[in-house]
Amino acid sequence: MPKKNKTLKKFKKITILSFAVFIFSVSFRLFVCNFFAIKNTELSDCFVKKGELEKEISSLTYDNSQLASLSVIEDKAKGLGFIEMKDLLIALDPFAPAKVASLTQ
């Protein structure tokens, strides 16, 4: 009888231990699945935001190309009162004697 009693106690301990391991593994699996589900949601949000940013970049690039065109710049300059140049602009007098700037010690 004592041998049967020891075997029964051993069986009870193994059963309780295996039940505890089962509960732990189920809770760990739920925790991991929940963690990855949250990360997957964040990743999906990042892809949506990336798409929105790409659309905004392409829109801004289009606006930039429209605003940088010469016709738009000329129209804005005329609107600000600039006039079209009739003659060439010469910054240096080609007939003046040559002058060179130098430092003396």
- 90 vs 52, residue with greater confidence: 52
Query: How far apart are alpha carbons 25 and 21 in whole angstroms?
Result: 6
* pLDDT of 49 above 80: yes
- pTM of the model as a whole: 0.47
78: which residues sit within 8 A by CB, 6+ positions away? none
Q: Read off the pLDDT of residues 67-84 as tens digits, 9 standing for 90 and up.
A: 888 888 888 888 988 888
Residue 50 has pLDDT above 90, yes or no: yes
pLDDT digits (tens, 9 = 90+) for 35-48: 888 888 888 889 99
Q: Which residue has the higher pLDDT, 93 or 38?
A: 38
